[in-house]
Structure 1
Amino acid sequence: NRESNSSAGARNIAAMVTNKGVKLSRWRAPKQMKELNLISCQQPGHRYKKASKEHVEIPNYLERQFAVTEPNQVW
């Protein structure tokens, strides 16, 4: 768990232990993790910022009216 900075889950820990020569299935790994009080700490998801104002140089021709009857009609 130290190798992965506490970010490895049961599958990764099972793979790491198996690579070191000890058989450990991915279904047995969570039980071993609970016994050893190992907790996987994952980073939270990235939140994207919403633009505060519309970009000035790019005009919005469609104004969210996507149903166009003929091609090349809007511009």
Structure 2
Amino acid sequence: MEDIRNAILEFAEKSKKTKFYFNDMEKAVRKVIPDVKARMVKKAATSLINEEKLIYFSTGSTTMYGLKGKGQTEDH
């Protein structure tokens, strides 16, 4: 699980966009760990949110993820 979390954080830090969809995050993790299941990526992302390293961002119709402190978010 730690390697999945590291892959998510690396993707979030290197991404040109400040917010991203779950599918984009999952594709980035699959480049590093090809046989990872979507459920494991979701669990890793949730644990990063609980640790306040990632944040949810709701557009009203969909939920996106973002790296805490990067870009404009609701708490800025």
TM-score relative to the length of structure 2: 0.40
The structure richer in helix per residue is: 2
Greater length-normalized contact order (CA 8 Å, ≥ 6 residues apart): 2
The structure richer in strand per residue is: 2
Q: Which of these two proteins has the greater Rg computed from alpha carbons?
A: 1
TM-score relative to the length of structure 1: 0.40
